[in-house]
Amino acid sequence: MRRASQLSLSLALLAACSEPAPSSDDAARTPDAAQRDASGLDAPASDAPGLDASSSSGDAAADASVIEGEDAPVVAACVLTASGPLVIDTDDAVIERLDVTSDGGPAIRVNADRVTIRDVRIRHRGGVGIFIAGADDVVVERVDIENVGVPTSGAASSADQNNLESNGAARLTVRHARLTRGSSGVYLVDSPGSRLEDLEGHDFRGPFPRGQLVQWNRSDDGVLEGFSVVNPASSWPEDNVNVYQSTGIVIRDGLVDGNNSPSGVGVIFDDGGAGLVEDVDALHMGNGCFSNFVGPAGNVFRRTRCRDNVCTDQGRGLPSSNALMWHGNPSGAQARVESSSWWASCNGNVSWPSEGFEVLELEEEEFTPRAPREVVFCFGR
């Protein structure tokens, strides 16, 4: 594996890379199956392609990549430089405009603080796309990460093929990212203060306990805002978004579409996970849309919407909750469901149990779901 501090590249190639194109403990959840059934670079020549250890020149490159239009950002075209796997050991490094491929092990491993990864495409096989190990204040933006080592349909060969994983990394920022066919999209372990924005997720492959667009594991005070996850029949998800043993989590402005797991749900507060879900739509869920099954009292689901759930076996077994839409905690820890609605229940099993909710404001009302996200990159889609 190449280390960023050991690579060399000609100054001419560095200049060409930086110019735009002219045309434009693995945290398996403790509830077992039975429980769930109940419910442009100025780097020196010795640096890597796309690696800039100068924060000032990196900021200038970032400003040049996105041109703000009247209605939406317009992304200027750029050219990527091919790269093998990278290990980043230098604080404040900037990794940009690379096309990274890896076959086993992380495509990019970050061991240093305040690293920025942007305008990068990653194709990983047999390992993680980006692994952030004990590194704080890392920023990952405008990245397209795809696990290419999965079968045409069904589960990945292991649960360790996440598109992005952090362990012991505080204040991680991920924005404008497309995440495809990872075991999970973003998996955060002991990584408090995360900020995740504008995530576009597709076709997650698990296997259990992975399968989420995002899962927090002992990672308090995280925010996920502006997201979608679309899982077709080929996918192998568990929950779409999971808050596990993490508190102070905010999840808002999102779409979860498709879940064929007999035990997974759209969004769940799991084993003491706590926070707020707001303005989220869940479609085509088998086992459930929103759940506080083993969550504490006080969790809030506000302006959540669920429709077109699935009562039948989608190839992995019947929904273990009988296609329940909103799932409370049967132990009596009461959640709040505020100003929420449902439509086209496959069997009328809308909420349970009554003692699991302090407030239960649910209306049968047709609605048009949010559209999936579509992240724009300087290197195209």
Is residue 371 assigned to a domain? no
Number of domains in the chain: 1
Return the closest-CA partner of residue 368 out of 303, 304, 281: 281
The SS3 of residue 349 is: coil
**CATH code of residue 307:** 2.160.20
Is residue 190 assigned to a domain? yes
Phi, then psi, of 251 in degrees rounded to 5: -125, 115
Which pLDDT tens digit goes with each residue over 242-297?
A: 999 999 999 999 999 999 999 999 999 999 999 999 999 999 999 999 999 999 99
The pTM of the full predicted model, rounded to 2 decimals, is: 0.84
On the 0-12 / 13-18 / 19+ scale of CB atoms within 10 A, 70 is exposed
Distance CA 265, CA 256 (A): 10
Tell me the residue range of the domain where 329 lies. Answer: 2-364
DSSP 8-state code for residue 356: G
DSSP 8-state code for residue 366: -
Q: Which stretch of DSSP H or E encloses residue 203?
A: none
Is residue 45 assigned to a domain? yes
Which pLDDT tens digit goes with each residue over 58-76?
A: 343 444 455 444 455 677 8
Residue type, 78: C
Is residue 374 assigned to a domain? no
DSSP 8-state code for residue 289: S
Return the closest-CA partner of residue 246 out of 269, 225, 218: 218
Is residue 369 assigned to a domain? no
Is residue 100 assigned to a domain? yes
- What is 273-325 written as a DSSP string? --EEEEEEEEEEESS-SEE-TTPPTT-EEES-EEES---S--SS---TTSS-S
Q: What are the residues whose beta carbons fall under 8 Å from the beta carbon of 132, sequence distance 6 or more?
A: 110, 138, 164, 165, 166, 167, 169, 172, 191
* pLDDT per residue rounded down to tens, the chain (381 residues): 434 433 333 222 333 333 333 333 343 333 333 333 333 333 333 344 455 544 333 343 444 455 444 455 677 899 999 999 999 999 999 999 999 999 999 999 999 999 999 999 999 999 999 999 999 999 999 999 999 999 999 999 999 999 999 999 999 999 999 999 999 999 999 999 999 999 999 999 999 999 999 999 999 999 999 999 999 999 999 999 999 999 999 999 999 999 999 999 999 999 999 999 999 999 999 999 999 999 999 999 999 999 999 999 999 999 999 999 999 999 989 999 999 999 999 999 999 999 999 999 999 999 999 999 999 999 998
Return the closest-CA partner of residue 292 out of 308, 279, 304, 310: 304
Is residue 378 assigned to a domain? no
Is residue 50 assigned to a domain? yes
